[in-house]
Amino acid sequence: MDLSTFNWLPLLAALMVASTPILLAGIGELVVEKAGVLNLGVEGMMITGAVCGFAMAIATESAVIGFVSAAVGGAVLSLLFGVLTQVLLSNQVATGLALTLFGLGLSAVLGQNYIGVKGIEISAVNLGPLADIPFLGPVLFQHDGMVYVSLLMVVAVWYFLNRTRAGLVLRAVGESHDAAHALGYKVVRIRLAAIAFGGACAGLGGAYLSLIRVPQWTEGMTAGAGWLALALVVFASWKPGRVLIGAYLFGGLTVLQLNLQAAGVKVPVELLSMSPYVITILVLVLISSGRRGRQTAAPASLGRAFHATT
């Protein structure tokens, strides 16, 4: 099989769509971890967002309301985690894992009446002449709005973290909550806000699955995307730009191997399927064996409980 007949255009377009859910969830989790909180419940928040978004979109026939509801649903669930870990000081790892289990169960209950229901139709945004550009048009400018929202989100998060005072405070809380507290910043409040933002992003990512990528509700439909988003943050070594690269790389590998198979090219499917995880492990090894050590990559207070004593 030669590659000359291989149809590359749809592959590149499909890559952007396939990567959007983990990109959204990943960029949210990045902010959470930058604030020093490790929320392993991404999968649970995504699936809750998926069912909330689907249910509300069906009820109102509006994709926008669907996505907003998904963000609210994800944020509310994440605040449960927030209260438990920030106010009641429970263990973040255990609470995060529990949140995933809870989210999967809750979404199954909420979604019972939506099994087998067809989703609403969501068309691409009209970008006018841009969509007609040869090559670039079909690849970049014929997508649904959420693809562009996710890209804007990456830029906004980068700007927020690196160019604003509030972003600096958030990073300070993540690096040393004691120092931030001593300076008078409300550590718990800031962390709760970050957690809610992460939950909302995860909810959006989940709704992207149930409303656009698959368009339907099925129990357990995220099937591990939340865990991929967590791996993505580590892969990106906590940098927004790299989250984008990583998401498109992870998503791209999946679509690429499926497309190559469909085109009849012999590819080692098993290897490509596990490659995102292998790459993440490699990056982890590289980060932690680097000369400056791991401390410089991960926020220093990541996963540590904060209790104001004074």
Partner 1 sequence: MKLKTLLTSTALALGVANAAAAQDPTQACFVYVGPIGDGGWTYQHHQGALAVKEAYGDKVEIQWQENVPEGADSERVMTQMALSGCDIVFATSFGYMDPINNVAAKFPDVKFEHATGYKRMHPNVTTYNSRFYEGRAVVGHIAGRMTETNKIGYIASFPIPEVVMGINSYYHHAAKVNPDVELVVTWVYTWFDPAKEADAARAMLDQGVDVITAHTDSTAPLAEIAKEGGKAIGFGQASDMAAFAYNDDGTPGPRVASIIDDWSPYYVKRVGQLMDGSYEQTDSWGGMPEGEVVIGEMTDAIPADVQAEAQGMIDAITAGEYHPFTGPMSNQAGEQFLAEGETIEDGPLLGMNFYIEGITAEIPQ
Task: Give the residue with the Cβ less far from partner 1, 5 or 126.
Answer: 5
**Given the rule CB under 8 A, which of 69-77, 181-189, 196-204, 252-260 is the region that contacts partner 1?**
252-260
Q: With beta carbons less than 8 A apart as the criterion, state whether 209 and 52 touch.
A: no
Point out which residues pair with 217 in neighbouring strands.
115
Q: Is 115 a binder of partner 1 (CB under 8 A)? A: yes
The residue from 2, 165, 270, 309 that contacts partner 1 (CB under 8 A) is 270
With respect to partner 1, which residue has the nearer C-beta, 107 or 237?
A: 107
Asked whether the beta carbons of 160 and 22 are under 8 A apart, the reply is no
What is the closest distance, in whole angstroms, from the C-beta atom of residue 185 to partner 1 in the complex? 39
Interface with partner 1, residue 273, by CB under 8 A: yes
Determine what percent of the chain falls in helix, strand and coil, rounding each to the nearest 5. Answer: 75, 0, 25
Note whether 116 binds partner 1 by CB under 8 A. Answer: yes
By rule CB under 8 A, what count of residues binds partner 1?
41
For residues 249 and 271, is the Cβ–Cβ distance under 8 A? no
Site for partner 1 contains 58 (CB under 8 A): no
11 neighbors 3 (Cβ within 8 angstroms): no
> Contact 50/217 with Cβ under 8 angstroms?
yes
111 binds partner 1 (CB under 8 A): yes
Closest CA to 173 of 43, 261, 86, 90: 86
At 216, is the secondary structure helix, strand, or coil?
A: strand
Interatomic CA distance for residues 35 and 4, integer angstroms: 48
Q: Considering the complex, what minimum distance in angstroms separates the CB of residue 178 from partner 1?
A: 42
User: Which residues, 6 to 25, sit near partner 1 by CB under 8 A?
Assistant: 6-7, 10-11, 14, 18, 21
Considering the complex, what minimum distance in angstroms separates the CB of residue 4 from partner 1? 13
When the beta carbons of 10 and 241 are compared against partner 1, the nearer one is: 10
Binding segment for partner 1 (CB under 8 A), chosen from 53-61, 92-100, 106-114, 300-308, is 106-114
202 belongs to the binding site for partner 1 (CB under 8 A): no
Largest Cα span, the chain = 70
What radius of gyration do the chain's Cα atoms show? 20
Q: What are phi and psi of 120, to 5 degrees?
A: -85, 160
CB of 254 to partner 1, least distance (A): 6
Q: How far is CA 126 from the centre of its chain?
A: 25
Residue 146 within binding range of partner 1, rule CB under 8 A: no
Is 4 near partner 1 (CB under 8 A)? no
| Residue of 245, 244, 240, 247 whose CA lies nearest to 225 | 247
Query: Which x/- pattern, by CB under 8 A, does the window 205-234 give for partner 1?
Result: ----x---xxxx-xxxxxxxx---------
Residues interacting with partner 1, by CB under 8 A?
6-7, 10-11, 14, 18, 21, 108, 111-112, 115-119, 209, 213-216, 218-225, 254-255, 258-259, 261-264, 266, 268-270, 273
